[in-house]
Amino acid sequence: MKILIADDDRMSRRLLQKTLEREGYEVSAVGDGRLALQELSSPDGPRLALLDWMMPELDGPCVCLEVRKQHERPYVHIILLTSRGSKQDVVAGLEAGADDYLTKPWDRAELIARLRVGQRILQLEDRLVEARETMRFKATHDPLTSLFNRGVIVDLLDRELSRTRREKGCTVVMLGDLDHFKSVNDRYGHVVGDEVLREVARRLLASVRSYDFVGRYGGEEFLIVLNNCDCGQAIVRAEQVRNGVANYPVQTTRGQLAITMSIGVLASRDWDLGLVEEILGVADRALYRAKAGGRNCVSLAKKPTALCDFPR
């Protein structure tokens, strides 16, 4: 495990480094507080740190304060090394953000024991972060396809439409539905149907840019949101998505299956609609026209030209 030593006394620094290297640590050693802060702020910086209290540039407590401001980085367990033994000094160091302290001259056995405590705390922290991220993912993603679930993809669409209106841009919305999917489930079973849904989800993600949104809208329906998209390219982009599904059979445990998708598409600039439900209603009607037109095709929601053309 990586560990940082920060001490302006060269002999103390070398002694600490040799001791920790014998224990199997990957040691980085610096001689002042500013260099220590740089090390601890780097993306792959150490998660354990031994900081001398008194150092040039920044002292140990100041380094602690700066490190604790970096909320996005993984937690760093910091032990202050100090010759100060008063309770006031200890309290000041801990309140600055230190996790522990060790009085000089340090004892080797105590040093190693405190570092092992720090490692256990970091392991617990990592498990808690992993559990939190797992819960967050489950709450926001569809369990079968790992795409955004319906609630999240609709919320993302709503936010994107609001941003588009402010910036006078364009968002392209696609509502796609797999053709004859019920017959896949009826003939081959739901296990094969699930295999198809997972593969289609993978292909949809591969058909869009990394910053676009793809979600499972329900059953075999998928909602795709293209951010900052050229309105004139809406049909072209929808055809790319459709071809990504239809061009190659889906490999399943029951063999290869030809799968196609019908897509209703609209460009937000063509529609003066304030509610996300209205946008989805327009996309759904365009999808219905694609189904009625023979399936495996794209239908563009045309800009209304008369009062009676607006959705009701």
The CATH code of the domain that includes 9 is 3.40.50.2300
The whole-angstrom distance between residue 172's C-alpha and the CA centroid of its chain comes to 23
Residue at 144 is within a domain? no
- Domain carrying residue 207: 150-309
Residue with tokens 């919320």: 155
Based on the fold, state whether residues 259 and 297 are members of the same structural domain.
Answer: yes
| Confidence at residue 309, expressed as pLDDT on a 0 to 100 scale | 41
Based on the fold, state whether residues 45 and 114 are members of the same structural domain.
Answer: yes
Separation between Cα atoms, residue 312 and residue 309, nearest integer Å: 9
The CATH code of the domain that includes 296 is 3.30.70.270
Based on the fold, state whether residues 156 and 273 are members of the same structural domain.
Answer: yes
Based on the fold, state whether residues 105 and 169 are members of the same structural domain.
Answer: no
Q: Is the pLDDT of residue 208 over 90?
A: yes
| Confidence at residue 304, expressed as pLDDT on a 0 to 100 scale | 61
User: Which amino acids are annotated catalytic?
Assistant: 220
Q: Is the pLDDT of residue 86 over 80?
A: no
Based on the fold, state whether residues 156 and 128 are members of the same structural domain.
Answer: no
pLDDT (average), residues 224-247: 93
Residue at 143 is within a domain? no
Hey, how many other C-beta atoms are within 10 angstroms of the C-beta on 1? 14
Indicate the pLDDT class of residue 311, thresholds 50, 70 and 90. Answer: very low
Indicate the pLDDT class of residue 83, thresholds 50, 70 and 90. Answer: confident
Separation between Cα atoms, residue 145 and residue 294, nearest integer Å: 27
Q: Which of 137, 159, 179 is the last residue of a domain?
A: 137
pLDDT (average), residues 284-296: 95
Q: Per residue in 166-193, pLDDT tens?
A: 888 899 999 999 999 999 999 999 999 9
The whole-angstrom distance between residue 118's C-alpha and the CA centroid of its chain comes to 27
Based on the fold, state whether residues 305 and 243 are members of the same structural domain.
Answer: yes
Based on the fold, state whether residues 100 and 155 are members of the same structural domain.
Answer: no
Q: Is the pLDDT of residue 31 over 80?
A: yes
Based on the fold, state whether residues 125 and 203 are members of the same structural domain.
Answer: no
Q: Which of 72, 106, 137 is the last residue of a domain?
A: 137
| Those residues with Cβ within 8 angstroms of residue 58's Cβ, 6 or more apart along the chain or in another chain | 32, 33, 34, 36, 37, 66
Based on the fold, state whether residues 127 and 156 are members of the same structural domain.
Answer: no
Based on the fold, state whether residues 162 and 105 are members of the same structural domain.
Answer: no
Q: Which of 110, 137, 164 is the last residue of a domain?
A: 137
Which is nearest to 67 in space by CA: 49, 85, 82? 49
Indicate the pLDDT class of residue 195, thresholds 50, 70 and 90. Answer: very high
Q: What domain count does the chain have?
A: 2
Tokens of 220: 């075999």
